[in-house]
Amino acid sequence: MALIVQKYGGTSVGSAERIKNVARRVAATRAQGHDVVVVVSAMSGETNRLVALAHEMQEFPDPREMDVVLATGEQVTIGLLAMALKDIGVDAKSYTGWQVAVRTDRAHTKARIEEIDDGKMRADLEAGRVVIVAGFQGITADGDISTLGRGGSDTSAVALAAALKADECQIYTDVDGVYTTDPRVVPEARRMDTVTFDEMLELASLGSKVLQIRSVEFAGKYKVRLRVLSSLIEGGEGTLITFEEDENMERAIVSGIAFDKNQARINVRGVPDKPGIAYQILGAVADANIEVDMIIQNVGEQGTTDFSFTVPRSDYKATLELLHNSQSSLGAAAIDGDDTVCKVSIVGLGMRSHVGVASTMFRTLAEEGINIQMISTSEIKVSVLIDEKYMELATRVLHKAFGLDQNQAG
């Protein structure tokens, strides 16, 4: 008998019928003798509906109130799933983020989990109940409702698994595992049986969309055994995220290609080329809780420099406005940007021991006439920023160039 945390995303609970289907899966796990904690997202489409309503009220909705509105999506799902379980004879009880309680910091709409009280959940599990927890949400020290940002339900699940020392955290999604890249873009993409945490971290952060990055970080930090499975297909093994590299001796050099359209480029042109200018520009952006990803600084003319960086597309307007407000104090000649860019990345542990991987990537893109706007690298990945219209093309040619189309170990 194990303790299993199962997380079902928006598509898996997207209709009354699908919620009932989730109830049957949970009941089956329960019937195998396991204790089950279920984390659910809002029904698909619901979060978008709520965001649209909020934007009808305010161009930039108040973050505290945004969380009040957004948190209702998951609250509906937990109640419905509890009913569906009771309807098939499985005792269950639902909890919102504040009821559990999932304590977070005060960064509304992108809060971080600080602490989870497992008391209520343990009592219910001991009483033989399935525990259902609303993903994506928590409560601040002030008693305000907070949310963790898009995809936050994965993080909720992993954090709960860590707090409860669960034997496995299963993330059910609409794909049956982690692929070498998105099969909708490259039909030849293959499911990986295992992937290492380091690789998954890069794949998640680069927008592979299967798992939210913070959930992977969390899982790595607390050594939570994490598995990605399909909620639509019965009996699949999914992809297990492994801690041990040596489980995968025969890895390919590049194990996956990720891409991410949630990118916008900001250019601060003609600023004085003096120490501290990067901090002056990026400090203000960081203070506004906007995440900066890629950064480059070009040498300009006559003691000035051009400074470029990328932010999530949803923060594009706010970043531009923020910088325009401090344009004169920065001494910038111009501030502009482009929100029609995307990031494409190759990821693989094998890159550590192989040279020439980046140059193969650049050559492959050049042969297709794709211009590279920015480059960033880490030990196990190379990312490039390109025009979003080339995203699919770039992914396809890279997938082929690194031999991911062929069946191979890993």
Footprint of a copy of itself (CB under 8 A): 16, 19-20, 50, 53-54, 56-59, 61-62, 64-69, 71-73, 75-76, 78-80, 82-84, 86-87, 93-94, 96, 98-99, 143-145
The C-alpha atoms of residue 243 and residue 317 are separated, in whole angstroms, by 39
Q: Would the annotation count 112 as a binding residue?
A: no
**Minimum distance from residue 113 beta carbon to a copy of itself (Å):** 20
**Minimum distance from residue 83 beta carbon to a copy of itself (Å):** 4
Q: What is the largest CA-CA distance in the chain?
A: 76
**Minimum distance from residue 1 beta carbon to a copy of itself (Å):** 26
Q: In terms of CB distance, is 5 or 66 closer to a copy of itself?
A: 66
Phi-psi region of 168 (alpha: psi -120 to 50; beta: other; left: phi over 0): beta
- Which DSSP state fits 325? H
Residue type, 21: N
Q: Would the annotation count 405 as a binding residue?
A: no
Q: Would the annotation count 29 as a binding residue?
A: no
Q: Would the annotation count 220 as a binding residue?
A: no
Q: In terms of CB distance, is 46 or 260 closer to a copy of itself?
A: 46
CB 268 within 8 A of CB 281: yes
**Minimum distance from residue 12 beta carbon to a copy of itself (Å):** 15
Q: Would the annotation count 142 as a binding residue?
A: no
Query: How far does the chain reach from its first CA to its final CA, in angstroms?
Result: 29
CB 269 within 8 A of CB 333: yes
Q: In terms of CB distance, is 88 or 233 closer to a copy of itself?
A: 88
**Minimum distance from residue 131 beta carbon to a copy of itself (Å):** 13
How would you classify the pairing of strands 381-387 and 194-196? unpaired
Q: Would the annotation count 95 as a binding residue?
A: no
Strand partners for 229: 172
The C-alpha atoms of residue 175 and residue 194 are separated, in whole angstroms, by 15
**Minimum distance from residue 109 beta carbon to a copy of itself (Å):** 12
305 CB contacts (<8 Å, ≥6 apart)? 270, 271, 272, 273, 277, 297, 298, 299
Q: In terms of CB distance, is 59 or 379 closer to a copy of itself?
A: 59
Q: In terms of CB distance, is 96 or 181 closer to a copy of itself?
A: 96
78 CB contacts (<8 Å, ≥6 apart)? 40, 94, 95, 96, 132, 133, 134
Q: Would the annotation count 9 as a binding residue?
A: yes
Q: In terms of CB distance, is 83 or 393 closer to a copy of itself?
A: 83
Q: Would the annotation count 7 as a binding residue?
A: yes
Q: Would the annotation count 348 as a binding residue?
A: no
Q: Which string of DSSP letters, residue by residue, matches 111-179?
A: --EEEE--HHHHHHHHTTPEEEEETTEEE-TTS-EEE--TTHHHHHHHHHHHHHT-SEEEEEESSSSEE
Q: In terms of CB distance, is 82 or 335 closer to a copy of itself?
A: 82
Q: In terms of CB distance, is 62 or 245 closer to a copy of itself?
A: 62
Structure token pair of residue 365:
């893109």
The C-alpha atoms of residue 153 and residue 148 are separated, in whole angstroms, by 8
**Minimum distance from residue 16 beta carbon to a copy of itself (Å):** 4
Q: Would the annotation count 74 as a binding residue?
A: yes
**Minimum distance from residue 158 beta carbon to a copy of itself (Å):** 24
The C-alpha atoms of residue 121 and residue 164 are separated, in whole angstroms, by 9
Would you list which residues are annotated within the binding site?
Answer: 7-10, 47, 74, 173-174, 179, 184, 209-210
Would you list which residues are annotated within the binding site for substrate?
Answer: 47, 74
Would you list which residues are annotated within the binding site for ATP?
Answer: 7-10, 173-174, 179, 184, 209-210
